[in-house]
Structure 1
Amino acid sequence: MSITLEAVSIWEQGGVPVRLVYRGERWRPVDTPIPLTLEPETLPAAVTHPPAQQFGWRIRACSESDELVTLDIVRVDGGWVVDHLWS
């Protein structure tokens, strides 16, 4: 695992990533992307099902050169960056 903050461009269909450009190369998801979510840390005791807030995606993707990676991408300042990369 490596940690990086490289920019990535994504194209969505129905709110789900279907294509991305990372390190100047086109990539496509090979599985259904998984939403990355956070739940609030402090809530009233009466709240039994806290709302989850989506902040990114975990995507297993294949490049045009057949490289396969898993990326965690998160939204930063209106754009997307790779937060974690597994090769």
Structure 2
Amino acid sequence: MTMTLEAATIWEHDGVPVRLVFRDERWHPVDTPIPLTRESELLPAALTHPPTRHLGWRIRACSEADELLTVDIVRVDGGWAVEHVWA
């Protein structure tokens, strides 16, 4: 795994990523992207269904050159960035 914070662009259909441009290459998901979420830590213990915040997506993707990788994409100021890369 490599930690990074590199700019990326995603296209969505019904709120789910269907295409990605990262490091000047086009990528497309090869399976269903997984939502990255986080629960707040400052909630009462009696709360049985805490709200979650959508942070981004984990995407297994294939490039036009048939390279496979998995990326975590998160929202940043005004766009998206790749936070983790697994080759």
Do both proteins adopt the same fold according to a TM-score greater than 0.5, normalized to the shorter chain? Answer: yes
Aligned AA for 1:27? W
Task: Tell me the residue number matched to 2:83.
Answer: 83
Q: d(CA) in 1 for partners of 2:46 and 2:25?
A: 48
Gaps of 5+ in 1: none
Match of 1:35 in 2: 35
Counterpart secondary structure, 1:60: strand
Q: Does 1:48 align with 2:43?
A: no
Structure 1 residue 46: deviation in Å? 2.7
- Which region of structure 1 is more displaced relative to structure 2, 44-53 or 30-39? 44-53
- Across the aligned residues of Structure 1 and Structure 2, the Cα RMSD in angstroms comes to 0.7
Q: Which residue of 1 aligns with 2:3?
A: 3
How many percent of aligned residue pairs carry the same amino acid? Answer: 72
Paired with 1:78 and 1:58, the residues of 2 have a C-alpha distance of: 19
SS in structure 2 of the partner of residue 17 of structure 1: strand
TM-score (norm 1): 0.97
Output aligned runs, 1:5-20, within 5 Å.
5-20=5-20
Give the letter aligned to residue 10 of structure 2: I
Query: Which structure 1 residue ranges, 4+ long, deviate > 4 Å from structure 2?
Result: none
